[in-house]
Amino acid sequence: MNAAPAHQLRLLDLADLDARIAQADSARAHPPQAARVRELIARRQELTPELTARQGERDDLRAELGRIESDVAVVDARRTRDLERLETVSSPKDAQGLESELASLARRKSDLEDAQLDVMEKLEQADAAVAEQEAVIAEINAEGARLSAEGKTAVAEANARLEAATRDRAAVASEIAGDLLAMYERLAARGVGAALLRRQTCEGCRMVLSGTDLAAVRQAAADQVVTCPECGCILVRTEESGL
């Protein structure tokens, strides 16, 4: 195939734009923050059951404390009632019975207060355990939110690069002869479409051409389309080719 050297040279611009398009497409599909965000989500899923368990223990202790406080209130009410009755009772037997009940209520209240202190201590520890777990999850959420925002920005920037490169590619492609463009597209679909021959080296596969291959390239006319014997891409010749 023959093609104007200027058109062959434009293939390098096309190849560069294709590389930019591929990079931008990969960047928008796989922003650098995505992997860390997935790790954070997995970590949060691991921590959440523990938080739920700690919250359950705390809520059970709160309920237990509420029951004890209710029992204390009942004891206090009965003690107040018995003291009032004791002031008005005239029978020694009734007075003795009230005094015995008051003593029993005092012991009951003492036991309840001991239990109350024990539960309050456990509840304080449970509150601290819940707060600790919540703080860890909050930190994970904060980092996740920050990275997600950065990821959205990265995707938006990649989309902008992709749109610009796609637009520029269309403009460059319109300047290249149809048969040469078709050949380039066919080669680019399976690898490198075109590359510069620089210092006797194909920049598509980084292989140095052998003496025989170089001789064949030297003999080719300027408008003849030559390909790399190693990777098959179109070799674009310039003053840097070392021919």
Enumerate the H helices of the chain as residue ranges: 5-29, 34-88, 92-173, 178-188, 211-219
Query: Do 144 and 38 contact (CB within 8 A), yes or no?
Result: no
Q: Given this model, what pLDDT does residue 95 score?
A: 80
**pLDDT, tens digit, for every residue of 19-57?**
999 999 999 999 999 999 999 999 999 999 999 999 999
Long-range contacts of 16-23 (CB under 8 A, 24+ apart): 17/165, 17/168, 17/169, 17/172, 18/169, 18/188, 18/193, 20/161, 20/165, 21/162, 21/165, 21/166, 21/169, 23/161
Per-residue pLDDT of 77-97, as tens digits, reads 999 998 888 888 878 887 888
Overall pTM surpassing 0.75 (yes/no): no
Give the position of tokens 């809520």.
Answer: 59
Q: Is it the case that residue 237 has pLDDT exceeding 90?
A: yes
Q: Rounded mean pLDDT of 202-219?
A: 91
Alpha carbon of residue 99 to chain centroid: 70
CA gap 130, 124 in Å, rounded: 10
- Over residues 121-170, the pLDDT tens digits come to 999 999 999 999 999 999 999 999 999 999 999 999 999 999 999 999 99
Name the burial class of residue 65, with classes exposed (0-12), middle (13-18) and buried (19+) by CB atoms within 10 angstroms of its CB.
Answer: middle
Please provide the average confidence, as pLDDT, over all residues in the chain.
Answer: 94
Contact present, 220 and 228 (Cβ < 8 Å): no
Compute the distance between CA of residue 19 and CA of residue 105 in angstroms, rounded to an integer.
Answer: 87
For the chain, domains (ranges, CATH) are 5-26+174-241 (1.10.287.1490), 28-163 (1.10.287.1700)
- Res. 120: pLDDT tops 90: yes
